[in-house]
């Protein structure tokens, strides 16, 4: 079995086993779908509301991606400031840690009230706020742990700070950056859906989930959860693909 073929088949088999175990668990316990919907209950929900899943799934996805891109830009900038300057690291790190310690579920209603009606902005903002911290920390750690010998050698050869960054600092930081980006992908989806559920003007899959809850449509609620999981998996593997392109040299094959 080739490596590429195995990388596709193994996750698919794992997901199939998960769905079969889920179906068996519901069947063995005799749970009705208002207590625990089974995978076989989800397909009717998808076929009935497929247009809503397409429209609201796209709304959730693009807001999440925009929030994540902002997190990458701002998180990388903060990480570079803290990585290259100990003073900035001492000043900013406690603030970032304190901000990250605040439960974002408590921030969502505040943001929703501050920017009433600006649902796209609210949702992107929460996705950004919840996902930029891991990126900032990973870039900061990657740059601050750069071996001083490399800098000294390049400086002795007349290299500028910009050259040192592009030739040494950036490649060394990439593995940590992509590791944090994989975490931020899932966090961004959490932020997006928190706002979609809480906001009175919510749209997207979070609003569809809230609609299912209001109408006691439990198969629809579980169908939304699986749709969110699938979107998260797709975005995660896009990041994995980018990692292989830009930082594949850092990958270590398991023994």
The token duo for 225 is 């959860």
Closest CA to 200 of 102, 80, 116, 93: 116
Average of per-residue pLDDT values in the chain: 86
What is the model's pLDDT at position 254?
Answer: 54
Share of the chain above pLDDT 90, in %: 39
Tens digits of residue pLDDT in 54-65? 999 999 999 999
Closest CA to 127 of 203, 178, 63, 57: 63
Tens digits of residue pLDDT in 53-92? 999 999 999 999 999 999 999 999 998 888 888 898 899 9
DSSP secondary structure of 129-186:
HHHHHHHHHHHHHHHHT--HHHHHHHHHTT--HHHHIIIIIHHHHHHHHHHHHHHHHH
What is the model's pLDDT at position 108?
Answer: 86
Place of tokens 């290299």: 159
């Amino acid at each position: 079995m080739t490596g590429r073929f195995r990388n596709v088949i193994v996750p698919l088999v794992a997901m199939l086993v998960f769905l079969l175990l889920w179906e068996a668990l519901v069947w063995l316990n005799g749970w009705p779908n208002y207590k625990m919907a089974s995978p076989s209950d989800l397909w009717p929900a998808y076929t009935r509301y497929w247009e809503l899943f397409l429209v609201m799934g796209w709304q959730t996805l693009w807001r999440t991606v925009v929030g994540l891109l902002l997190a990458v830009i701002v998180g990388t900038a903060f990480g570079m400031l803290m990585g290259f300057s100990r003073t900035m690291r001492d000043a900013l790190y406690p603030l970032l840690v304190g901000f990250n310690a605040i439960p974002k579920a408590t921030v969502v209603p505040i943001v929703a009230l501050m920017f009433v009606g600006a649902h796209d902005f609210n949702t992107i903002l929460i996705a950004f706020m919840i996902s930029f911290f891991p990126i900032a920390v990973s870039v900061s750690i990657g740059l601050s742990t750069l071996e001083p010998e490399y800098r000294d050698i390049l400086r002795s050869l007349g290299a500028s700070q910009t050259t040192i960054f592009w030739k040494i600092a950036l490649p060394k930081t990439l593995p940590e950056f992509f590791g944090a980006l994989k975490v931020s992908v899932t966090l961004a989806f959490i932020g997006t859906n928190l706002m979609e559920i809480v906001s009175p003007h919510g749209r997207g899959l979070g609003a569809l989930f809230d609609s299912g809850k209001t109408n006691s449509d439990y198969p629809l609620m579980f169908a939304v959860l699986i749709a969110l999981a699938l979107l998260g998996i797709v975005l995660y593997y896009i990041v994995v693909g980018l990692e292989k392109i830009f930082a594949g040299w850092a990958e270590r094959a398991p023994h």
